[in-house]
Homo-oligomer: A and B are copies of this chain.
Amino acid sequence: ILPLPLAAAPSPAAAIRTTALQDNVAWDFVEGLTTEVGPRPAGTPQEARARDWAVAKLKSLRFANVRAQPFTMPVWLRGRDEAHILSPFPQQLVLAALGNSGSTPAKGIEGEVVYFPTLADLEAAPAGSLKGKIAFVSHAMTATQDGSSYGYFGATRRQGPSIASRKGAAAILIRSIGTDHHRQPHSGVQMWAEGAKPIPAAALSIPDADQLVRIMSRGRPVRLHLTLTSKMLKDQPSGNVIAEIPGADPAAGVVLAACHLDSWDQGTGAIDDASGCAIVTAAALHAAKAGPLRRTIRILMAGAEEVGGDGGRAYFAAHGAEPHAMVMESDFGADRVWRVDYKLPAGHEGLASRISAGLAPLGIGRSSALAGGGADIQPLVKAGVPVIDLQQDGTRYFDIHHTPDDTLDKVDREHLQQNVSAWAVALYEIANAPEKLDVK
């Protein structure tokens, strides 16, 4: 019997890739944070508990320089969210107020519904034509692997309330920005544009939005009773959590791996974004397994991402002047990485080739799209720090995003491990790149 030919000894990156596919740290992180803290809205005591939990977890995993970075911020708090049709077909509708929604009185308001199939239809409504009415905007969002439909149709949530307010509407309801068929409204933030007075603004679950379209299709006036109570608090405590695996060469720049610790209030934030924090945490540990790192890997678990990115700005204010060699962020769920995008200056060609080669065995292909990063690293990206995106499959992300359904059971353990493996390969290659990489 001839011995089987021996393959060459695996490279450190290949060994890391293989080992990380068996990772348990990330699953334990997601399971722990979502179970022992649960929902963690920005600026609330739950988010503070999440910071304490993360600091303890990162210390137990032997990270260095683990600390919270506190800041304060205004906080919008959900109250009661209720709607029912008064006529012609009395029935309840399931909905959730959007972030920064105006509040109705406790007894609610009543109004006639005016239907707009798209945001463009709402924009085309004559000024003043919505006086005292409840605007209802639907749309046709479908699932996309790259999540691009969220960018486009999400405008209904981001801009719809301000447009309706300027046209005199008493309130606005939108079809949830989502792709599922469950009675689970998708919340999310919106900001009032200059000169737009806050009005009650909420997302109907998708079956409820479809029901309201059917009811309106009967051609009779539809009157609705709407109760959306909420309140705004000033100067509430929030904060980031930061931790490091120190590298030997501080001048070579920090590799920042970001995620966010806060979540929306309805679910336990398992895919958004406990998974992201779990992935970067586990991946950093795997990346360091081959020996001491040249560059420091720094974990940023941002606070208050969901409500506008206060955590990312606080990080930049405190650390933006330090040399950063690369920034990356994980904030698109727990499904597998399918594509890698780069935005790199000259001199990074060799590094990008090594990363792409290391990711290929995981089924991840290099694209020609420019990486953009996420909200938590936006100030650094704008300042010119190189960025790489490990793009996750978004096909089912918007079934769950910002709904009560964002819970642990939605995380697929094997997909999570593939993320850890991809991130570990990338962090290893960046942290140990032998060439001089310009830092910002």
Contact = CB atoms under 8 A, between A and B. Distances in A.
Query: Which size bracket describes the interface of A in this complex?
Result: 20 to 34
A379 interface: no
A183 B404 CA distance: 6
B182 A214 contact: no
A408 B208 CA distance: 10
A31 interface: yes
Nearest to A45: B90
Given A183-B184, A268-B91, A35 B407 contact: no
Nearest to A37: B89
Contact of A210 (B91, B218, B409): B409
A39 interface: yes
Interface in A29-49: 31, 34-39, 46
A31 B89 CA distance: 13
Contacts of A90: 38, 46
B37 A409 contact: no
Contacts of A31: 214
Contacts of A268: 91, 211
A215 interface: yes
Interface string A169-202: 0000000000001111000000000000000000
Contacts of A207: 405, 407-409
Contacts of A409: 181, 206-207, 210
Nearest to A88: B36
A410 interface: yes
Given A35-B89, A91-B39, A218-B36, A211 B407 contact: yes
A120 to B, nearest CB: 25
A77 interface: no
A92 interface: yes
A362 interface: no
A193 to B, nearest CB: 32
A94 interface: yes
Nearest to A53: B89
Contacts of A182: 182, 184, 405
A410 B91 CA distance: 19
A214 B34 CA distance: 10
Contacts of A408: 207, 210-211, 214
Contact of A89 (B38, B210, B215): B38
Nearest to A93: B38
A183 B215 CA distance: 26
Nearest to A207: B407
Contact of A94 (B35, B88, B214, B404): B404
Interface of A: 31, 34-39, 46, 88-92, 94, 181-184, 206-207, 210-211, 214-215, 218, 267-268, 403-405, 407-410
Given A35-B89, A94-B404, A184-B184, 14 more contacts: A34-B211, A36-B215, A36-B218, A37-B89, A38-B92, A38-B211, A46-B91, A182-B405, A206-B409, A207-B407, A207-B409, A210-B408, A210-B409, A214-B408
5 shortest A-B CB distances, which residue pairs? A38-B91, A183-B404, A207-B407, A35-B214, A181-B409
